Amino acid sequence: MNPDPHDLSALEKALGHRFERRALLEQALTHASYARELESQNAAGGTPAAAADNEQMEFLGDAVLGFVVSRELFQRFPEYQEGELSKLRAHLVSARHLLRPARDLEIGQYLRLGRGEERSGGRSKVTLLVDALEAVIAALFLDAGLEVAQRFIQRLVLEPGLAEVHQNGSTELPVIDYKSALQEAVHASGRSQPRYVLIREEGPDHRKMFTMEAQVPAAPNGDKGFARRAEGNTKKLAEQRAAREAWDFLQSLKRGSGKEETDTPSKFSPLS
């Protein structure tokens, strides 16, 4: 049974915190596409007003997450060298690792998305889920302080991650530059290099939003080409996010869990 996206009490229970300022949690779940649509509606009604989204909260949440994980690793593994600590931290805060707690919390069901993002399956996109999780961490920090945010990170991010590392006996390095990672992955599969295309540029000069598409050609073995889109407030950020979506899909193909893309009039397959 899916949660009611308008009832945040179930999410608060899963987070282990009842918000004094519920607006913080609401903002953490608000994607930029929803905020820009709301601003357009306000402007059309004669009452132009900025609408808050979760991008700045994502920035803060990423910093809080990094600090908490760094401090915990420093205290727990005094025998580790700096390089080993950095490697382990990178694994624990990587998108691949954060996706699991984001899905466990069913954050996708609570996201506030614009109509275009909703139609393109935004509720299941890796980038949106991970960004929202980091924004929720910021909301916890702003509403109740570092201790509450730390308990959440320990319970849903740190402990499961360390248990996984211990079980696998490995601290796999994360992917940081997804454009480079995607280029290496498509080269390994025999495909031509990916292309990045500007799909849309919207918003005022001081709040531009860019939509970039990463296009991956077909492989010699018959695997079809595909494309993935993502947004960002700079072209470079949007390219990195689109590359991450494409890279994640290629990894799912390698694991045998990716669904083959359906035919379209263009040489690229539908977007996620």
Cβ count near 270 (within 10 Å): 14
Quick check: 99 and 130 in contact, CB under 8 A?
Answer: yes
Extract long-range pairs of 170-177: CB within 8 Å, 24+ residues apart. Answer: 171/84, 171/87, 171/88, 171/91, 172/91, 173/87, 173/90, 173/91, 174/90, 174/91, 174/93, 174/94, 174/96, 174/97, 175/94, 175/95, 175/96, 175/244, 175/247, 176/90, 177/240
Element (H, E) at 199: strand 195-202
| Burial grade of 140 (CB within 10 A; 0-12, 13-18, 19 or more) | buried
Q: How many CB atoms lie within 10 A of CB 168?
A: 9
Which of 37, 117, 134, 223 is catalytic? The answer is 134
Using only the alpha carbons of the chain, give its radius of gyration: 19
User: Please, which residues have CB within 8 angstroms of residue 205's CB and are 6 or more apart in sequence?
Assistant: none
Give Cα 85 distance to the centre of its chain: 23
20 is catalytic: no
Catalytic pick from 55, 62, 223, 231?
Answer: 62
For 59, residues 6+ apart whose C-beta sits below 8 A from its C-beta are 138
Q: Assess whether 134 carries a catalytic annotation.
A: yes
Which residues are the active-site residues? 62, 134
